[in-house]
Amino acid sequence: MINVPKILLIYTGGTIGMRRDYPSGSLKPFDFQKVLDEIPELRLLQCDIEHCAIARPIDSSDMHPQVWIEIVEIIDQKYHSYDGFVILHGSDTMSYTASALSFLLQHLDKAVILTGSQLPIGDLRTDAKENLITAIQIASLTTNGKPSIREVCLYFEYKLYRGNRTTKISAEQFEAFDSPNYPPLITSGVHLEVQTDILLKNMGQLPFKSYKSMECSVGILKLFPGITKDFVEAVLLKSDLKGVVLESFGSGNTTTSNWFIDLLEDMVNKGFPIVNVTQCSGGEVSMGVYGTSVELKRIGIISGKDITTEAAITKLMFLLANDPGDYQHLKLKFEESIAGEIS
Q: Which residues neighbour 110 within 8 Å (Cβ) at sequence distance 6 or greater?
A: 82, 83, 84, 85, 139, 147, 149, 150
> Who contacts 97 (Cβ-Cβ below 8 Å, separation ≥6)?
12, 60, 63, 67, 68, 71, 87, 89, 114
SS (H, E, C) 224-255: CCCCCHHHHHHHHCCCCCCCEEEEEECCCECC
134 classed as catalytic: no
Determine the Cα–Cα distance for residues 286 and 301; give it in Å rounded to an integer: 11
The H or E element containing residue 108 is none
Task: Report the alpha-carbon distance of residue 317 to residue 190 in Å, rounded.
Answer: 40
Residue closest to 286 by CA, chosen among 262, 304, 268: 304
- Closest to 94 measured CA to CA, from 58, 52, 136: 58
Closest CA to 130 of 146, 142, 117, 140: 117
- The CA distance from 101 to 272, in Å, is 24
List the one residue out of 318, 342, 340 whose CA is nearest residue 152.
340
**Per the residue annotation, which of 15, 97, 254, 308 is the catalytic one?**
15
Cβ neighbors of 208 (< 8 A, separation 6 or more) are 79, 105, 106, 107, 108, 109
* Three state DSSP letters for 7-72: EEEEECCCHHHEEEECCCCEEEECCHHHHHHHCHHHHHCCCEEEEEECCCCCCHHHCCHHHHHHHH
Contacts of 214 by beta carbon, 8 Å cutoff, 6+ apart: 65, 68, 69, 100, 104, 314, 317, 318, 321
Q: Catalytic amino acids?
A: 15
